[in-house]
Amino acid sequence: MSEHVYIQDVALRDGLQNQPHPVGTADKLALAWSLFDAGIKNIEVTSFVNPKAVPQMADAQALTESLFAYLSTERPNIHTDQLSALVPNLHGYKAATRAGYRQLAVVIATTDAFNLKNLNRTTHDVLQGLTELYMIARTDSVTLHTHLSGAMGCPYKGPIDPEVVVRLAESLLRSGAEHFMIADTIGAGTPRLARQIIKDLLSLVDPDHLGLHLHDTRGMGIAIAQAGLDLGIRRFDSSSGGLGGCPFAPGATGNIATEDLVYLCEQQGLHTGISLEGLYETVLFAERITHQSLGGKVMHWMRSQKRGCLQI
């Protein structure tokens, strides 16, 4: 049996949070169903944040209630424990756990400037807040995945020394962190830089507790994913159609496209359990509800095949 790669699709959260056209709850639910039809079982559904800061996430509670109810009756093979949400603080944590989430993403950036823009707190203050969350989550048996945001570049301070990422991870480990996602929030990374950061962090944590959250702003996302696979990383965030962008990171584009990541993995004998044909339909639907053209390289190739274009 081939080795499994754990892919979490973040189109519903990271993909929609910065969209100029509001996407209704019913369309979000339909997008989730399409993702499930494509074989995706792990989805980052929403974020429990201030709706004034991120209006697209204002329906977090309503979306979660509808989605969980749907799963309980229509999708018994998908457990709510496989779904996650992002929370910025204790208030968000309490709302998300009350809603039923047992897996959550928390964020800390590599610079004060980014933390102040994203969370309105300094790095020191964010770290203190996370220390409290780790203790509470351990008591509640809730898994927290800590995203090291701007790990390969800050939108306000520029390049980041890998040593900064290592020191931050060490501080977080002392505070109780267990699971990390290296987040190239603005797509500033390269395979060489990624390999250095991954190797450094693998000296601190088990590879099963380390993943990659990649944006494709400069076209390096899938190459960095390959570097991660080569080093044993088997957990990734991606977004169907490359949908996404960060409202607090000017110039950042969407995550690496789920269809590109699935193709990369499957062509190397790694199992994802996700259907490219199913993702094709998902991307078409996402285009309709966001009023934009979407798709990674594989999506463009699949379109050409369906049009019967000659490949040379």
User: Which residues are known catalytic residues?
Assistant: 246
Instruction: List the structure tokens of 146.
Output: 């800590």
Nearest partner of 114 among 155, 54, 158, judged by Cα? 155
Count Cα atoms within 13 angstroms, Cβ side, for 138.
Answer: 11
Task: Decide if 149 contacts 109 (C-beta within 8 A).
Answer: yes
Whole-number Cα distances in Å, 10 to 74, 112, 191, 236, 237: 22, 25, 22, 10, 6
Nearest partner of 183 among 210, 202, 143, 156, judged by Cα? 210
Instruction: List the structure tokens of 17.
Output: 């949070």
Q: Which helix (H) or strand (E) holds 113?
A: helix 112-119
Cα distance between residue 103 and residue 137, in whole Å? 10
Cα distance between residue 285 and residue 34, in whole Å? 8
Contacts of 308 (CB under 8 A, 6+ apart): none
Task: Decide if 41 contacts 82 (C-beta within 8 A).
Answer: yes
- Residue with tokens 């203050």, as numbered in its chain: 125
